[in-house]
Amino acid sequence: MLNNTVNKNPLVWIGIFAHPDDETTSSSGTMMKWVKNNNEAYIITGTRGEEGTLGTGDLKIKREDLGKVREKELRHNLDLYGAKPPYIFDYRDQDLDKETPEVLAKKILTILKKISPDIIVTFGPTGISNHPDHIAIHKSAVIAYKYYKSDTNQNPLLIYPAISEERAKDYGLELSEDEKRLDIVVDIEDTFETKIKGLKNYKSQEDAQQLAKRFVEHNFIYESFSISPVNELDKNSTKLINYLASL
């Protein structure tokens, strides 16, 4: 339902992240609600996460196979969420920050032009965990966003996953101010179970298993986002913000 506030159907979401599983941890509950409302969702992943853990439980993966395994996990989950198949760049895990930010931004720009997004979700300045790949994708996504706006005259909304100061402390995270502002809070109770299933489906990754446990223990049925200060908000952005918050 667009309750005639946003004059485009379907609306297009894109999440721009570094590794398979970043999208699930940060924003999959909201993305699924977006899709359930007859909208489209895409993900860009900068790497295949080849440097991650080599399996959990009985699963033992060889280092040289990990990229393929993680790509498969990502594709499976995006299908589960109702999102489109991912755009995956061929950077090696932990090499994203070795690329010139503008070069990575141009690759992102090509995809933005193809899909004409209404909402762009990417990490904020610390990448939540201070992972250099997360910070690199943040920088390039912001540059791509600026290129896209000046090349097309479109004005999509750029948002970052955000975490309350209190929860950030619990996790030992040192976030930027832009990642602590809960400008948009989405109740994901309806999609929470599938989000947890998605995390558990990342069987190669220890982190994903631990987060699944933690999210269930603490019943984290909300996802929060801050509005990037890079935005030049107009009427349509306000509509999109209200629409997101009402999902």
CB of 89 to Zn ion, least distance (A): 14
Q: Which is nearer to Zn ion, 33 or 138 (CB)?
A: 138
Closest residue to Zn ion, Cβ-based?
19
Q: Which helix (H) or strand (E) holds 226?
A: strand 222-227
Among 13, 14, 19, 119, binds Zn ion (CB under 5 A): 19
Give the 3-state DSSP-derived string for 152-215, with helices as H, strands as E and coil as C. Answer: HCCCCEEEEEECCHHHHHHCCCCCCHHHCCCCEEEECCCCHHHHHHHHHHCCCCHHHHHHHHHH
CB of 204 to Zn ion, least distance (A): 13
CB of 123 to Zn ion, least distance (A): 8
CA atoms 140, 142, 147, 149: torsion sign: positive
Longest Cα separation, the chain: 52
Beta bridge partners of 157: 119
Contacting residues for 64 by C-beta, under 8 A, at least 6 apart: none
Residue with the two structure tokens 């924003």? 27
Quick one: which segment of 18-26, 68-76, 97-105, 190-198 binds Zn ion (CB under 5 A)?
18-26
Q: Is 195 in the site for Zn ion (CB under 5 A)?
A: no
Q: Which is nearer to Zn ion, 133 or 178 (CB)?
A: 133
Quick one: which segment of 14-22, 59-67, 87-95, 179-187 binds Zn ion (CB under 5 A)?
14-22
Contact letters for Zn ion, residues 22-51 (x by CB under 5 A): x-----------------------------
Q: Which is nearer to Zn ion, 202 or 225 (CB)?
A: 202
Q: Which is nearer to Zn ion, 18 or 74 (CB)?
A: 18
Quick one: which segment of 21-29, 149-157, 188-196, 223-231 binds Zn ion (CB under 5 A)?
21-29
Q: Determine the residue type at 73.
A: E
> Do strands 157-162 and 12-17 pair parallel, antiparallel, or not at all (unpaired)?
unpaired
What is the C-alpha to C-alpha distance for residues 63 and 47, in angstroms, rounded to an integer?
Answer: 15
Chain residues in the site for Zn ion (CB under 5 A): 18-19, 22
